[in-house]
Amino acid sequence: MEVLVMADLRELLTAAVHALRSYQYGNASTELAEEMADHIDEALKEAPTMIKPTIGRVVWFWPHGLNPGTQPQAALIAYVHSDTMVNLAVFDPEGEAHSRTSVWLYQGAGEIPDGAYCEWMPYQIGQAKTQAPGSATP
């Protein structure tokens, strides 16, 4: 999936502003509105789903240096700093709990962090997409 960068978003929003201004000054072309709506719909489909972290939610924790192909560790969000930074109670493969503070919560946009990070489970991402505005609900 291609991730929209800020320059792409700025370009899309600038075009939308120009289209709206043209209507403000008397343009009645429906083609312009349709074209802008199509571009915005496509951008929204490509945008990653942002899930608001809350205390008690389960995430996957990937310790720094974890070998590819291994399983993530289960973790609970213990404190929320922001939409991309949390404190965790992490459970190692033996079920021992360990605390990790100021862990990046990877939300699917951009590069995966170099160090330790956590992310939402695929099921959670799927549920968030079905509940996102404009998505079809089964």
Give the domain range for residue 125: 58-131
Shared domain for 32 and 70, answered yes or no, is: no
Strands 85-91 and 117-119: unpaired
Within a domain: residue 99? Answer: yes
pLDDT band, residue 72 (cuts 50/70/90):
very high
Alpha-carbon gap, residue 46 to 31, rounded angstroms: 23
Instruction: With a cut of 60, say whether residue 67 has pLDDT above it.
Output: yes
Q: Residue range 57-70: average pLDDT? A: 84
**Is 52 part of a structural domain of the chain?**
no
List phi, psi (to 5°) of 52.
Answer: -75, 120
Pair 12, 63 in one domain? no
- Residue 124 or 65, more confident: 124
- Please state, rounded to an integer, the average pLDDT across all residues of the chain: 81
More confident residue, 112 or 105: 105
- 125 and 67 both lie in a single domain: yes
pLDDT at 2 over 70: no
Q: Domain count for the chain, please give it.
A: 2
Cα separation, 23 vs 137, whole angstroms? 33
Query: 23 or 89: whose pLDDT is higher?
Result: 89
Q: Using a CB cutoff of 8 Å and minimum separation of 24, what contacts does 91-99 make?
A: none
Model confidence over 3-61: pLDDT tens digits?
Answer: 445 567 778 788 888 788 777 777 777 777 778 778 777 776 766 668 999 999 999 99
Mean pLDDT, rounded, for 70-79: 95
Alpha-carbon span 104 to 111, nearest angstrom: 12
